[in-house]
Amino acid sequence: MRGHSGYAKLRCKPRGARNRGPPRVARGSIQRQPLRTMTNEALARWNERFSAPGYLFGTAPNRFLASAKHLLRPGQRALAVADGEGRNGVWLAQQGLNVTSVDFSPVALAKARQLAEQSGVTIETIEADLAKWEWPAAAYDVVVAIFIQFAPPPMRAKLFAGMKSALKPQGLLILEGYRPQQVDYGTGGPPNRENMYTRELLEAAFTGMEILHFKEYDAAIEEGSGHKGLSALIDLIARKGV
């Protein structure tokens, strides 16, 4: 599909005040939140996938995230959402950011900490069901969400609202996902079109944020064995208002 990038400002109604989440814990530590809205079957399935030798999605950062390096600054606080085995969180830490990596799989998070140690960096890991997690309000300079399309529409709406809430004023959202056409390609992600993203869906979810980059396109990606081949992608970088 035709790509587009540029700057835009969308309007929104003021949002109400949100409760702050749990206090921050020391970097490199493990924090657990009450589990689980995600089913035990889903957790078992992901734990099994992450238990295989190596890294399911590789150890290199997502290509789109790496392309946004010029927007990042050492010392910023970053939240890597559903970060799995940590490839993106570890890369952010290598850029000098203070990283919190959150996921519901303890197996994945153990591998994330191992990858961080091997890479000479430290990350904070939180084991949590994101549908129930108390997202810290205005806590992060950067929120990164790469291929989090396990979430059906009701859960997705909660995740998007939490991500937006977690950003500090002027904070950056960096998001990459699949468009509905991805189901036809079958090269990554679930076989559920309703879990995929469209421009209209993302514009509605992040109304009021300044759009720095927005692009829809097809491209071949290779991220371990989990994401491999021609893919229907959609990329978004947006800045929260003051």
Residues 153-162 pLDDT 10s? 999 999 999 9
Please give the Cα distance from 69 to 160 (Å, whole number).
22
pLDDT in tens, 16-57: 433 433 333 334 545 544 434 457 888 888 888 888 888 988
Note whether residue 135 is domain-resident.
yes
Structure tokens at 13: 């109604």
Q: What is the mean pLDDT of residues 6-12?
A: 37
Note whether residue 121 is domain-resident.
yes
How many domains are there within the chain?
Answer: 1
Please give the Cα distance from 103 to 220 (Å, whole number).
26
- Domain housing 231: 9-22+33-236
Please give the Cα distance from 56 to 223 (Å, whole number).
8
Note whether residue 54 is domain-resident.
yes
Note whether residue 242 is domain-resident.
no
pLDDT in tens, 62-89: 999 999 999 999 999 999 999 999 999 9
pLDDT in tens, 198-217: 999 999 999 999 999 999 99
Note whether residue 71 is domain-resident.
yes
Token match 């089913």: residue?
A: 39
Note whether residue 28 is domain-resident.
no
Whether the Cβ atoms of residue 211 and residue 6 lie closer than 8 Å to each other:
yes
Please give the Cα distance from 142 to 72 (Å, whole number).
8
pLDDT in tens, 102-139: 999 999 999 999 999 999 999 999 999 998 999 999 99
Residue 175 is part of a domain; what is its CATH number? 3.40.50.150
Average pLDDT, the chain: 87
- DSSP secondary structure letter of residue 135: P
Note whether residue 27 is domain-resident.
no
Length, in residues, of the chain: 242
Note whether residue 4 is domain-resident.
no
pLDDT for the residue 28 = 53
Please give the Cα distance from 67 to 73 (Å, whole number).
14
